[in-house]
Structure 1
Amino acid sequence: MSKGVMSEKLKYELAHDLGFGEKVEDGDWSDVTTGEVGSMVREAIKRGEDEMAKEAKVNGAAHQNAE
């Protein structure tokens, strides 16, 4: 079986943050709508982009200070 793109922890965190965590508390994701899954994907992408931007800023600042 292949490993998923999102960790289980992140999936549950996103579901709770987006307001439908109660649907998946029992581990059954069958009641999650495609719209909710789309929201999870968009939020995961946004968080990833935000994290990459933070890292780039830190790395850029470190690079600037090294000169």
Structure 2
Amino acid sequence: MSEQFKYELAKDLGFYETVEKEGWGGIRTKDAGNMVKRAIQIAENAASKGLK
């Protein structure tokens, strides 16, 4: 997953400020899990539309 995509997900999920202040190690485990879930959803939606 690209760094840009990770930052976009962090913004979308509401913990971008934490990443800015503390780095990726500062986010909660729950936030990391939600980020992975959201990335999977986006990939599945793209795949169902025939996109890569």
Q: Calculate the TM-score normalised by the size of structure 2.
A: 0.87
CA distance 1:55–1:27, change in 2 (3 Å): farther
Residues 1:16 and 1:44: Cα distance change in structure 2 (over 3 Å): same
Match of 1:9 among 4, 11, 14: 4
Higher relative CO (CA 8 A, sep ≥ 6), structure 1 or 2? 2
What is the identity percentage for the equivalent residue pairs of Structure 1 and Structure 2? 47
Counterpart residue number, 2:39: 44
The structure having more radius of gyration, on CA atoms, is 1
Q: For residue 60 of structure 1, what is the aligned residue in structure 2?
A: none
Task: Please identify runs of 4+ aligned residues in structure 1 that moved more than 2 A.
Answer: none
Deviation at 1:51, TM superposition (A): 0.2
> Considering only aligned residues, what root-mean-square deviation do their CA atoms show, in Å?
1.6
The offset of 1:27, in angstroms, is: 6.8
Q: What secondary structure is seen at the aligned counterpart in 2 of 1:55?
A: coil
Provide the secondary structure at the position in 2 that maps to 1:30.
helix
In terms of fraction of residues, the more helix-rich structure is 2
Which runs of 5 or more structure 2 residues have no equivalent in the other structure? none
Distance in 2 between residues matched to 1:28 and 1:40, nearest whole Å = 15
The CA distance in 2 between the partners of 1:52 and 1:38, in whole Å, is: 21
